[in-house]
Amino acid sequence: MLVETAAYASRWRGVAPSAKALFALAGIAAAWIACRPATLAVLALLPMLAALLGARVPLRTWLAVARAPLGFLLLACATLPVGPGVHGNWQWNGAMVPVAVHAGLRALAVLAALLGFVLTTPLPDLLSLLRRLRTPEVLLDLMALCYRMLFVLRRAWDDGVEAQRARLGYPGWRHGWVQTWRSTGLLAGHVAQQVWLRAAALQVAADARSYTGTLRFLPAAFPRARRQNALALLAGALLVALALGDRW
């Protein structure tokens, strides 16, 4: 939900999703082409600055969304130089440090490109773009249903927590961790039942609207899409040219 909220509040909300996708794909391609750590660091920094300064995505939001993948990335890079030696004992291998730095910067550049796209593109725009690219309708319907069910799950969870707190649930882990654990278990069972019932109601509503196996949405209009695509191609070409500079 944080990603979707940031996408709707982004300054690039009115930019064609195809332009943002082109820029993100160019950033990913440039990250795979680049060789030097300095170039990879620049390729990670440019999409991040584009999202923060260009699209006006709040830094707190960017860090909150990137926290989990960055934690996984740091853990992977920190453990890469550590491995078993010839005698089976664990030891530090300094030769793997450049490899860890290189892999970490490359992954960071790809992550920055992806975050710049998802934090500025709401899911309906993404579905419209994927439909124009001839993506199978079954996959698009699954994406739309999962998107809808995430909001249903969050709403059911928040309502359950509020109701339990009104009845003296969740006293806190310090004062009653057994009751807190019991409240969480009861809520999980209640939410599972609520989601099941609401999913059935969603299916009934879709059938009442003559659902034929394809979910349709009104496509958003982007009157300046050609100009925006051209600018995205130019910016992406600069990223790729910067990466190709490492090859020659």
The per-residue pLDDT for range 193-204, each reduced to its tens digit, is: 877 787 788 778
Tell me how far apart the terminal alpha carbons of the chain are, to the nearest angstrom: 44
Residue 16 in any domain: the answer is yes
Residue 196 in any domain: the answer is yes
This prediction's pTM: 0.78
Look at residue 64 in the predicted model and tell me its pLDDT.
92
Q: pLDDT class for 172, splitting at 50, 70, 90?
A: low
Residues 176 and 227 in one domain: no
* 179-188 contact pairs (CB < 8 A, 24+): 187/157, 187/160, 187/161
Please tell me which residue, 63 or 186, carries the higher pLDDT value: 63
Residues 52 and 115 in one domain: yes
Q: Which of 24-28, 171-175, 211-215 has the lowest mean pLDDT?
A: 171-175
Closest CA to 48 of 25, 15, 68, 24: 24
Residues 145 and 230 in one domain: no
Compute the distance between CA of residue 45 and CA of residue 151 in angstroms, rounded to an integer.
32
The chain-wide mean pLDDT, for the chain, equals 84
**E strand residue ranges, the chain:** 82-84, 90-92
Residues 105 and 57 in one domain: yes
Contact 119, 57 (CB under 8 A): yes
Residue 201 in any domain: the answer is yes
Mean pLDDT of 66-86: 85
Range of the domain at 76: 1-83+91-121+223-246
Look at residue 145 in the predicted model and tell me its pLDDT.
79
Residues 77 and 162 in one domain: no
Residue 215 in any domain: the answer is no
Compute the distance between CA of residue 117 and CA of residue 50 in angstroms, rounded to an integer.
10
CB environment 144-159: b (16+ within 10 A), e (fewer): beeeeeeebeeebbee
Q: What is the CA radius of gyration of the chain?
A: 23
Q: Output the CA–CA distances (angstroms, integers) from residue 7 to 115, 125, 217, 221, in the order listed.
A: 10, 10, 18, 17
Taking only the tens place, the pLDDT of each residue in 88-127 is 677 777 778 888 899 999 999 999 999 999 999 988 888 8
Residues 112 and 182 in one domain: no
